Structure 1
Amino acid sequence: MKILALLSLLCSSIALGQQLHSVQLPTAVNYQENLNIHLGSNTNPQGNTLALNNFYLTQNNQAIFPVMGEFQFSRYPKEQWETALLKMKASGIQVIGFYTFWIHHEAVQGTFNFEGNNNLKRFLQLIKKHQLQAVVRIGPWVHGETRNGGFPDWFVKKYQKGGFDRVFTDGKIQPEVETFYKAIAKQLQGFYFKEGGPIIGVQLDNEVRSNGPESWGYHYYLVLKKAALKAGIDVPYYFVTGWPGTGIPDTETIPLWGGYPAAPWTGNSKPLAPNKLYTFVTDRRDQTIGNDILQYDAMNSTPLYKHPFLTVELGGGIQNTYHRRPIIAPKDLMGIAYTRLGVGANMLGYYIYHGVQHPLSPFGYGTQESKGSVFPYPNDYPIISYDFQAPISESGFTQPSYNYFKQLHLFVQSYGAYLAPMLAVIPADSPTEPTNTTDLRYAIRYQKESGFIFYNNYARHQELVAHPETVFEIKTSATTQRIPLEGSIDIPKNTMGSIPFQYPISENIMLTYALAQPVTLLPKEKLWIYSPLEGVPAEFVLNSDNIADIKTNGTVTKLEKHYVVKELTPGKNCTVEITSKDGNTYTLLVLNEAEALNSYVFETAKGQQFIICDQSLWYDAVADEFHTQTTETTTDIYAFPELKKRGKALKKQTSEGFLSHYQIQLSKVAVPQISFKEITDTPAYTSYLSNLRNTTPSRPAYATQLTEDLHGKRYVLEFPQQLPKGISDLKIVLQYQGNTAALYANDVIIEDDYYNGTAKTMSYQRIQQHEAENYTLEITPLLPEHLPYLEPEVSTTFTQTQPALLLNITTIPVYEFTF
C-alpha cells in the first residue's frame, strides 16, 4: 500500500468562505412496536409474519423497505402482462399496486367481466409466479383519471347527485358496493398472504376527506373495511390515502402518501408556484394532488405521525390534460424521491410506473375522465393514452427515467433494511420554503453513529444556486464527524445525492464516509458498488485500525486514524481493494455515472448476478433466462460473476477489470418504413379553420369514432404486413405539430396524443393486433389564441402558419435476444 505523507494536521476549523452545516443529532430514536393497529391475517403458511411499527414495515420482526409501482392490468393487453411485470421487477419494483376499476368489471349491472384484459386472477397468477407482491386498490371510487372516478354509469345515474359523491347515507354504503366487493373477493381467493399468495394489502377507496371521528369520511372508511372483511378480503395491511383530510381511523387503517412534480389538473394554464416537495419538508401531504376537486385543511402545527411514512403516489411521471401539457425530466422525479427519503419515507410507491391505455366501454364511449361524463369532471384527458411519461411507456418501451429509478431502487434494495430504522433530522439551516433558492436543502437520516446525508439542489422550473466549499459537521453524543476531513465539497446546481457516514463494511472495517453515491452491494462477493456524486470527485475515508492493505488506481493518504482514497477515475476498472488484518478482502467498485445508470442486479438460482447493459434487460427466474430488448444489432454486456449460459449470438470479449465482457451480435435487417398520404378535404378544413377564428377549441375536437365531420388534417397510414425475421417490434415515432393526434383502425380510435412539443411513440405490434384494413390519422389544429400550458422551451410559432401537420414518421427496429 502506497501512502502519501501529509504534514498538515487534521483540523475541524472552517476556512474563510467555507459553508459549514453543523448538526447535533438526537441521542435516541423512539420506536413504538405496539401501535394497536388491527391488521388482518398476517402470517403465511411458511411462517413469515408481516407487521409494522411507527417507523417501518416488518417481516419476521425485521425492517423491510418495499418499492411499489402502479400497473393497471385492465388497461393493458393481457398478452404483454408478463413481460411488463418482469421489466418492472428488473428495475427494482417488488410490489405491484393496481386499481380494480368497477367501470371495467361491471359495465352492465349484475354482469361481471373478469375475462380477457379484465382477468384479475390471471394477473395475480403472474405476480405470484414471478415472486412479486400486490396491493389491490379496490375502490369503489378510485379516480385514476377514469370516467366517473371508476363508478359504472348505471350506478352514477341511480345514486349520485354529483361527480365526487361516495353515496354514503346514514352511515351505510349501497348494496351494489358490497356486491362489487364480493365479486372482487372471489377473484382474490387463493392469492391472500395467509394462503401463500402475493396480496399483502388493499387500499380502500381513494382521496376521501377523513377529518377525524366526527367526519363522514372517517366512518365511510370504517364501513368499507367492514364490508371488505365481510366479503372475505383478509390481508395484513388495510391502506387508505392520507390526503386530503387530517385524521383517518388510525387503529384500523394505514395512510399512504403521494407527491408529484407537476399538477396538470390545476384549473388554469399559468405557470405553477414552486413545489415544496423539492425541499425536505416534513408535511407528508402534497396539497396540489387533486386540487381541482379537493380542499386541504390547514394543520396548526407539524403533525406527529403515528404510522410509518409510506408512499403510494410519488410521481412515476405525470399525465397531460387538455389545458396543461408538462414535459417531465428524470430529475423532476428524482428530486422528490430524494427529499422523501431524506424526511423518512420507508416505502417508495409510484403512480404510474407502467403506462397504459384507457379501454373503450362496451357501449363505444371512452372510459377516461372528461368533462363529458355523466357528471362533468374538471379535466379532459386523452381518450386512449395514459402513458403518464412513466418509466415504462404505454407501448411497453422503457423511457429515460427508467434507469434513474432503477439506480435508486438498487440503493434501496441493498440498504433499505439498514436505512429504515434511521431517524430523519431536518437541520435548522435546511430551508423548507420552496421560494428559498439560495440555502442548501439537505437532511440526515441516522441510527446511533451511522447514517446518510441526503441533499437536493434541484427543483423543477427553479434555478437553485451552486454550493461551493460546503462542509458538513455531524455531532453525536460521542463523536464529531467532519465531512470532508480536509477541504470542502463543491455541490453543483441541479444535482442531488446521498453521502453515507460511519458505514460498517464488516464487523471490523468502518467506512468513515464516502463522497460517492452507494449504488448496490453483493455481500456474498464482498463487493460494494458506488458512482461519483454528480460534479464531486469521489473520495473514500476509512478507519485505519483494522486495515492491513489498500490497493487502488487512485491515491491513498494516511491522515491520523484514517486512510483517504481519492484521485479516482471512475469506470469498470476503478476499484479499491481493502484487506483487513484478519485476511479478508473487500472491494469497492466505482462506476461512472452512465455505468451506474445501466446497472442491474438479478436474484438467480446461483446467487446475485450483477450486469451492466445500456439496453432494456430482464430476467425470468422461472425459465432461468435473461431477455434483452435492444434497438442496436450490437449490444455490450458486462457481468459479475461471469454468465453461466449464453446463446450463440452472445460472444465472449476481453474482460474489463473483474467484469466479464460479452457482446450480442445480431444480423442487420432492412428496417420497414411506414408511408403516409394526406387525404384532407382542403376546402372543408379551410372552412373549419376559419370558423375557429384563430382560437384553439376549448375541448378536444376528436372522438372515439372517425366521422365525416372534419376537425383537422387527415392522413392514411400504410403499415407493413409483417416484420422481417429478426425484428420483434418497431418503435413508431410520430413527429407532428398540432393540438391533438388520433389514430383510427377501421374508423375506431386506437391511439391518441395531446401535443406538448415531443414526438408520439407507438408500437407496431400493438397496432397490428387490431388487424384493420385501414388506418387513418387525424391531427387537429393548435391555434394562437387559447393555448394550453406548454413548457417555455416549446415553440408555438407554427400555430400562425401550419397549425396541424404531420412532419414525419420514423421507425426504430426492436430486437429481442434470450440467453
Structure 2
Amino acid sequence: MTSAVRPGTLVAPHHLTVVAPTAPRRGHLSVGEPPAGDDRIEVTSRWVERGGIPWFPITGEIHYSRVPRDRWRDVLGHARAGGLTSVATYVLWQAHEPEPGVFRWDGQLDLRAFIEEARAHGLDVVVRLGPWAHGEARYGGFPDWLVERNLATRTNDPAYLDLVHAFYAQTIAQLRGLAHAEGGPIVGAQVDNELYDQPQHLARLRELAEELGLRVPIWTATGWGGAQVPDTLLPVYSAYSDGFWDDEQTEWPEFSAFHFRYSPVRDDLSVGADLREALDGITLDPDAVPLKDDDAVPFVTCELGGGMHVAYHRRPIVAPADVAALALAKVGSGSIWQGYYMYAGGTQRTGAHGSEQESHATGYPNDVPRVTYDFAAPIGEHGQIRPHHHGLRAQHVWLQQDGHRIATMATTVGGGSADPEILRWAVRSDGRSGYLFASTYQPAKAALPEQRDVQLTVTLDGGDVTVPTQPVTIPAGVSLVWPLRYPLAPGVVLRGATARVLARVTVDDREVVVLGAYDGIPVELVLDGDHEVGGAGVAVHREGATIISLAAPAGPTCVVELESARIIVLDQESIDRLYLLEVDGRERLVLSSAPLYAVDGELVVQTESPDVTVSLLPAPEALRAEGSDLSEPSDDGPWRSWQVSAPQAGRRTLVSGLRPEATSPRPERGGPLNRLSAPTDFAGAAVVQVEVPPELFDGVDRTLLRVRWTGDVGRAFVGDELISDHFWHGRDWDLDLTPWASAIARHGVRFELLPWQRSTGVWVDPTVRQIPDGVHVAAVDVVRVGKVRLTWSI
C-alpha cells in the first residue's frame, strides 16, 4: 500500500508488496514463428522471445522517402548508436504509384536499399505497409488518382482491394528475401493505420500480404482509440506529451497528463481523434470504450512521441525531457517494446500536385508545413542530433543489456494518482529483483512539485528492500529508476541504489558497471553482505549490508572499487555523452563530446564544434583519424582519451538584429473542423536576402543555416525554388544548404517572413508566448558540420 507524501511532511515510508508474475500464455496468438530455428521469434501474452530468450525491442520511425538517400547511412548509424534495435517506416502509396500502374522504387524511394542499409547497421525493420498511412501525408498517403475514383476505401470493397493487391504485390516484391525467416531484417509488418471499426478489413490486409508471399513473425495494427483489432493482429499503442491536432483553445491536451503517470492502461482515445471525427464521422464517448489492461497480449508501443509536429493553428514545444520522461514512464508501466514516432525527422515530398502534406485543401482538419517534417525528433530533418537523442540513449543502452530480464517483470503501481502532491511510483519486478520507478516530472506547463522525505520499501521474495536507507528529497522535474537486487558480479548483489543503471562491460575478467547519478539526490549504494570498498566509495557495514556513499563528485573518474567489480558513477553531463558501441571487435563504453556512431570498422564523428573529446573503456590499442588531427592518448581514471580536431566545423553569423516591416494577410479558417488556415498570401511579407560565401561549403559534411527569429510563417527560396518553410513556434529554424550550394552561389537564400500577430489566435507554448507582434530576426548563422572517421586498424 502507499501513503500520501505532502511537501514538508514527514510520514511513514511508502510500502509495496510485490509477488512473482504469473507464467505467460503461449500459442494462443496468430503471430510468431513455428517452433524451429535458432532465432525464432515467439509472442507470448506478456513479452516477445527471440531464440528462446525474452527480447525487448526498441524501434524508431524513420521514413526513407522523406530522407535524402545519401543521408540514410548517417541517420541509421545514429539511430543504432542511440540504442535502437529496429526501425519502422511507412510505405507511402502516393510516392510509389503516382499514376495508375506506374510504380517507382528508385532513388530515395528504394525501399529495398533502405532495408539493406538498416541491416548493415544491425537494425531490424518493421514495414508499415499501409495502404492508408496518414503520417501527415496528403490524403493519408493515398494517390490523388485513387481518391478521385470515389471508392469505398479502407474496406473490403472488391474494386479497392484490387488496387491494394497491385500495390502490395509491388511492395512485397521489393521485400523478397529480406524477411526474418529468410535471414533478413524484417521482423514485423503493420497494416493500415488508425482504422477503428473495420476489423475484417485489417484481417484481410494481412491475408492479402501473405498470399503475395510476405511471411513475417509479427503482424500489427494500431490499437489506440478503442480500435477493433482482429485476433490475427497484435495491437500496438501510442503516447504523446502534446498534440498539434488538438484545438487552439486547448492549453494542454487532457490525454497528455495520463502518460506521465504509471498505469497498465495502454489505450489513448484522443490520438488521431480529429481525423476519426473529421474523416470517418466517428466520435467516441470515453465512457463507452473500456480502457483496460489486456492480459492476452503484451504491452507494445509503436508511437511514443519522439517530438511533435506543428500545425498552423497549434504549435507545441515538446521539450527533450518530456520525451525521455514519457518513455521511461511507459517502461515503468509495463511496456515490453518501445516504439517512437518520429525518431528521425524528414522533408515532405513534392509530387505532381505539389507538396504532399496534409492540409485543409485535401479535407484534413490541420494545415501543416509544406516542406518540413522535422517533428522536433531526436534526429532532426537534416541529421541534427538533439538532446533527447542522448536522453533516450541512456534508457536504451540499459534496456539493450538488461531487457531480457525487464521484459519478464510485471508492474505494480504504488502511486499513480492525478493528484500532483502524491508521489507517483511503481515497481517492475520478477518477484526477487527489479526496478523502482518514481517521478516528479510533468511538462513545464503543468509542473509537479518536489517530494520531500521520500523512502520506499518493497517487499520481494526474500525480504524487504528499503531505498534509500534515510529519506531524501526528490527534486521537482525528476523521472527516476532505481535498481532492486541488481546482480553486479558473481556473488555481489546491489540491493538498492539511488542511482540508475546505465551499462556494463567486462574488462580483464572484471565487471565494470556504470551507474548514473540524479541531480540533487545523494548517491547511495547498498550491497548485500560485507564487502571491502575502495576508490571513491566510503563504506559503512550495518545489519548484513554494505552501505556506500561517494567521497568524490559523480563523473567519469568517480570509481568505486570492489574485489570483483568496479562501479563508475557518472554525472548528468557525462550520461549524455555515454555510448555503448562495437569497437575493434567488442563492445566498449564511449564518452564523446560530439555525436558519433560505429559502422564498418570505424567511428564516425559528426560535429558542429572544432574540438572533440573521445574516451573509450576498454581502449583499443590505437586510434587513427582520417582527415583530421588526433592527439596522443591520455589516461584519465579508467578511460583513455583522445582530442580530435575538426577545424572546418563551427558557426558564423551572417545576419543579425533585423526588424523588417511586414503585414499579415487576413486570417482565414478552413477544413472540416474550421481551424485557422496557413496563409497563402505573402504579398506583405518581409523579404530578407542572405548571401552565403561559397567557401563555407568547402571541406565540411553539411552546411546548415540556423535562423533565430520570431514571426508567424517563414519561407526560404533559392531562386524560385521553395527549399524550406517554418511555422514559428519557439525553436530555431534549420535549413540544409548543402544540396543547393551551386544555386546559392548565384541566388543566395531569400526569406519571406510574415509577422506574428497575437490577435490571430494561433496557439504557441506559454514559454514563448509573450513576444511582440511583427518580425524580428535575431540572427542567421551558418553552422558547418564536420565529419571525422576514427579507425583502429593498424
Q: Same fold (TM over 0.5)?
A: yes
Aligned counterpart in structure 2 of residue 305 of structure 1, from 286, 295, 313? 295
1:654 aligns with 2:631: no
1:285 aligns with 2:267: yes
Aligned counterpart in structure 2 of residue 574 of structure 1, from 554, 558, 570? 558
CA distance change for structure 1 residues 729 and 472 in 2, over 3 Å: closer, same or farther?
Answer: same
Which residue of 2 is the match for residue 808 of structure 1? 779
Structure 2: how far apart are the matches of 1:675 and 1:42? 64
1:408 Cα deviation after fit: 1.2
Structure 2: how far apart are the matches of 1:677 and 1:500? 51
Identity %: 24
Which residue of 2 is the match for residue 245 of structure 1? 226
| 2:395 counterpart SS class | helix
Could you list the runs of 4 or more consecutive aligned residues of structure 1 that deviate by over 4 angstroms after TM superposition? 40-44, 668-680, 769-773
| 2:624 counterpart SS class | coil
Q: Structure 2 counterpart of 1:229, which letter?
A: E
Structure 2: how far apart are the matches of 1:369 and 1:42? 44
1:711 Cα deviation after fit: 4.4
Structure 2: how far apart are the matches of 1:544 and 1:749? 67
Which residue of 2 is the match for residue 482 of structure 1? 466
Q: Structure 1 counterpart of 2:762, which letter?
A: P
Q: Structure 1 counterpart of 2:586, which letter?
A: G
Answer whether contact 1:442 1:455 (CA < 8 A) is retained: yes
Q: Structure 1 counterpart of 2:456, which letter?
A: F
Pairs within 5 Å for 1:683-702: 698-702=676-680
Aligned counterpart in structure 1 of residue 237 of structure 2, from 246, 257, 263? 257
Pairs within 5 Å for 1:160-309: 160=151, 166-169=154-157, 173-210=160-197, 217-250=198-231, 252-272=232-252, 273=254, 275-294=257-276, 295-296=283-284, 298-300=288-290, 302-309=292-299
Pairs within 5 Å for 1:402-801: 402-427=389-414, 430-433=415-418, 436-460=419-443, 461-485=445-469, 487-523=470-506, 525-544=510-529, 547=531, 549-568=532-551, 569-579=553-563, 585-620=564-599, 622=600, 624-643=601-620, 644-647=622-625, 649-667=629-647, 674=654, 698-702=676-680, 710-723=683-696, 725-768=698-741, 773-774=746-747, 775-799=749-773
1:675 Cα deviation after fit: 6.0
CA distance change for structure 1 residues 319 and 512 in 2, over 3 Å: closer, same or farther?
Answer: same
Structure 2: how far apart are the matches of 1:16 and 1:392? 43
Structure 2: how far apart are the matches of 1:42 and 1:387? 42
1:728 Cα deviation after fit: 2.9
| 1:488 counterpart SS class | strand
CA distance change for structure 1 residues 796 and 779 in 2, over 3 Å: closer, same or farther?
Answer: farther
1:813 Cα deviation after fit: 2.6
Answer whether contact 1:159 1:167 (CA < 8 A) is retained: no
Answer whether contact 1:355 1:393 (CA < 8 A) is retained: yes
Structure 1: how far apart are the matches of 2:426 and 2:740? 48
Answer whether contact 1:426 1:442 (CA < 8 A) is retained: yes
Pairs within 5 Å for 1:39-188: 39=32, 47-160=38-151, 166-169=154-157, 173-188=160-175
| 2:436 counterpart SS class | strand
| 2:163 counterpart SS class | helix
After superposition, give the CA deviation of every residue in 1:394-445 in whole Å (9 maximum; x if it has no partner): 0111012111011111111121111111011112xx1343xx1000111100
After superposition, give the CA deviation of every residue in 1:18-69 in whole Å (9 maximum; x if it has no partner): 451110112442322332424467866xx42111211211111100111100
1:613 Cα deviation after fit: 0.9
Answer whether contact 2:80 2:122 (CA < 8 A) is retained: no
Structure 1: how far apart are the matches of 2:697 and 2:72? 25
1:557 Cα deviation after fit: 0.4
Q: Structure 1 counterpart of 2:163, which letter?
A: E
1:773 Cα deviation after fit: 4.2
1:128 Cα deviation after fit: 1.7
Q: Structure 2 counterpart of 1:701, which letter?
A: P
1:74 Cα deviation after fit: 0.3
Pairs within 5 Å for 1:382-421: 382-421=369-408
Structure 1: how far apart are the matches of 2:667 and 2:176? 55
Q: Structure 1 counterpart of 2:180, which letter?
A: F
Structure 1: how far apart are the matches of 2:36 and 2:113? 24
| 1:176 counterpart SS class | helix
How many pairs were matched up? 760
Structure 2: how far apart are the matches of 1:400 and 1:300? 37
1:628 Cα deviation after fit: 0.9
CA distance change for structure 1 residues 784 and 572 in 2, over 3 Å: closer, same or farther?
Answer: closer
Structure 2: how far apart are the matches of 1:253 and 1:312? 14
Answer whether contact 1:675 1:719 (CA < 8 A) is retained: no
Structure 1: how far apart are the matches of 2:102 and 2:573? 52
After superposition, give the CA deviation of every residue in 1:161-196 in whole Å (9 maximum; x if it has no partner): 7xxx524438x8521011100010011112111111
CA distance change for structure 1 residues 556 and 738 in 2, over 3 Å: closer, same or farther?
Answer: same
Which residue of 1 is the match for residue 325 of structure 2? 335
More displaced 10-residue stretch of structure 1: 807-816 or 536-545: 807-816
CA distance change for structure 1 residues 57 and 756 in 2, over 3 Å: closer, same or farther?
Answer: same
| 2:429 counterpart SS class | strand
After superposition, give the CA deviation of every residue in 1:94-121 in whole Å (9 maximum; x if it has no partner): 1010000001111111100111111111
Answer whether contact 2:299 2:335 (CA < 8 A) is retained: yes
Structure 1: how far apart are the matches of 2:353 and 2:745? 17
Structure 1: how far apart are the matches of 2:303 and 2:21? 31
CA distance change for structure 1 residues 640 and 477 in 2, over 3 Å: closer, same or farther?
Answer: closer
Aligned counterpart in structure 2 of residue 22 of structure 1, from 15, 28, 42? 15
After superposition, give the CA deviation of every residue in 1:245-269 in whole Å (9 maximum; x if it has no partner): 354222x111111100101101333
CA distance change for structure 1 residues 676 and 364 in 2, over 3 Å: closer, same or farther?
Answer: farther
Answer whether contact 2:633 2:641 (CA < 8 A) is retained: yes
CA distance change for structure 1 residues 692 and 52 in 2, over 3 Å: closer, same or farther?
Answer: closer
Structure 2: how far apart are the matches of 1:612 and 1:414? 18
Answer whether contact 2:29 2:43 (CA < 8 A) is retained: no
Q: Structure 2 counterpart of 1:814, which letter?
A: V
Answer whether contact 2:199 2:230 (CA < 8 A) is retained: yes
1:367 aligns with 2:345: no
Answer whether contact 1:532 1:590 (CA < 8 A) is retained: yes
More displaced 10-residue stretch of structure 1: 643-652 or 661-670: 661-670
Answer whether contact 1:342 1:445 (CA < 8 A) is retained: yes
Segments of structure 1 that go 5 or more residues without pairing to the other structure are 1-14, 211-216, 580-584, 704-708
Q: Structure 2 counterpart of 1:468, which letter?
A: R
- TM-score, normalised by the number of residues in structure 1: 0.88
After superposition, give the CA deviation of every residue in 1:590-635 in whole Å (9 maximum; x if it has no partner): 1111101110110234211211112111111x2x011111122221
Q: Structure 1 counterpart of 2:781, which letter?
A: T
Answer whether contact 1:281 1:432 (CA < 8 A) is retained: no
| 2:30 counterpart SS class | coil
Structure 2: how far apart are the matches of 1:497 and 1:93? 21
1:533 Cα deviation after fit: 2.5
Q: Structure 1 counterpart of 2:112, which letter?
A: K
Structure 1: how far apart are the matches of 2:409 and 2:441? 24
After superposition, give the CA deviation of every residue in 1:351-377 in whole Å (9 maximum; x if it has no partner): 00001010111x24110001111xx10
1:338 Cα deviation after fit: 1.5
Answer whether contact 2:697 2:741 (CA < 8 A) is retained: no
Q: Structure 1 counterpart of 2:763, which letter?
A: Y
Structure 2: how far apart are the matches of 1:671 and 1:283? 47
Structure 2: how far apart are the matches of 1:134 and 1:651? 39
CA distance change for structure 1 residues 759 and 553 in 2, over 3 Å: closer, same or farther?
Answer: same
